[in-house]
Amino acid sequence: MRFPAAFLYDIKIQFRHGLYAVYMLVSLFYIIALHQIPEQYREIAGIFITFSDPGVLGFFFIGGLVLLEQNQNILDNLFITPYKVEEYIFSKALSLTVLSVLTSYIIHISVFGVSHYLVLFLVGVFLTSMFFTIFGLGVAVRCHTLNGFFFLSSIYSLIFLLPLLEITGMDHFLFMLLPTKGALLLISSGFHSITTWEAIYSVVMLLSWGVIAFIWARKSFYNMIIRKASEGKTL
């Protein structure tokens, strides 16, 4: 019962902080904007927007949520219960990912219709969002203020956004090692079919990076929050 409850309450808290309302507006904006774009560019714009917004949204919102709990000293209260750090991270990531998947689906069907095969597309958004949210949590626990978080997260995220240069024609074989390439491939499957190998490559990359991010975020959380609290350092 612990995990489902924590997960549902995370969604409720995000809802109460207006994240869902904001995202309805943002989605509406994207839908209108995409309709304005000339047909031949609409697809590439769709891929780009889906990746950079619903996909990466968790990365930025997780910072707000974790800093909020940290500043209100709620973390102390959470971790004098049997709640585990792993559950905490997973619940946060999964709850924000729900919002990502939901908004990218709504944007997609409102702009491009329901005719496409969307399972791989949604898997792509799901894995992208899980990776970026967990990664963002690892960044957030290193920060004390939202400004600090935005500064640090821009630096951390830059490297993962490099493969976006592909759109401008620049490419590098090392981009293949980043999860971003896989994310873009899977998201593009919502517009035109990709090969099985491309799909496998993408899922494997995103999953591996997800696991790496999880291990890193968990370690960061222990070092920056739990261990500091256990030494009596003020956060």
Ligand X SMILES: Nc1ncnc2c1ncn2[C@@H]1O[C@H](COP(=O)(O)OP(=O)(O)OP(=O)(O)O)[C@@H](O)[C@H]1O
- Token pair recorded at residue 120: 């791989």
CB of 232 to ligand X, least distance (A): 5
Chain CA centroid to CA 193, Å: 24
Q: Count interface residues toward ligand X (CB under 6 A).
A: 2
Q: Does 151 bind other proteins (CB under 8 A)?
A: no
Helix crossing, 57-71 with 2-16: angle to 10°?
100
Yes or no: say if 102 and 53 are a contact pair by the CB < 8 Å rule: no
Q: Between 1 and 158, whose beta carbon lies closer to other proteins? A: 1
Q: Does 20 bind other proteins (CB under 8 A)?
A: no
Q: Does 73 bind ligand X (CB under 6 A)?
A: no
Among 16, 38, 158, 196, binds other proteins (CB under 8 A): 16
Residue list 174-233, contact with ligand X (CB under 6 A): 232
The CA distance from 213 to 166, in Å, is 24
Taking CB within 5 to 8 Å according to partner kind, which of ligand X, other proteins, none is near residue 175? none
Q: Does 113 bind ligand X (CB under 6 A)?
A: no
The CA distance from 98 to 93, in Å, is 9
Q: Between 141 and 206, whose beta carbon lies closer to ligand X? A: 141
Q: Which stretch binds other proteins (CB under 8 A): 38-46, 55-63, 73-81, 182-190?
A: 73-81
The CA distance from 5 to 12, in Å, is 10
- Classify the phi-psi angles of 83: left when phi > 0, otherwise alpha if psi is within -120 to 50, otherwise beta: beta
CB of 227 to other proteins, least distance (A): 9
The CA distance from 199 to 186, in Å, is 7
Taking CB within 5 to 8 Å according to partner kind, which of ligand X, other proteins, none is near residue 12? other proteins
CA distances from 159 to 97, 162, 174, 180, 230 (A): 21, 5, 11, 10, 33
Q: Does 223 bind other proteins (CB under 8 A)?
A: no
CB of 233 to other proteins, least distance (A): 6
CA distances from 179 to 114, 150, 152, 154, 162 (A): 27, 21, 20, 17, 11
Site residues (vs other proteins, CB under 8 A): 1-2, 5-6, 9, 12-13, 16-17, 72-74, 76-78, 80-84, 229-233
Site residues (vs ligand X, CB under 6 A): 232, 234
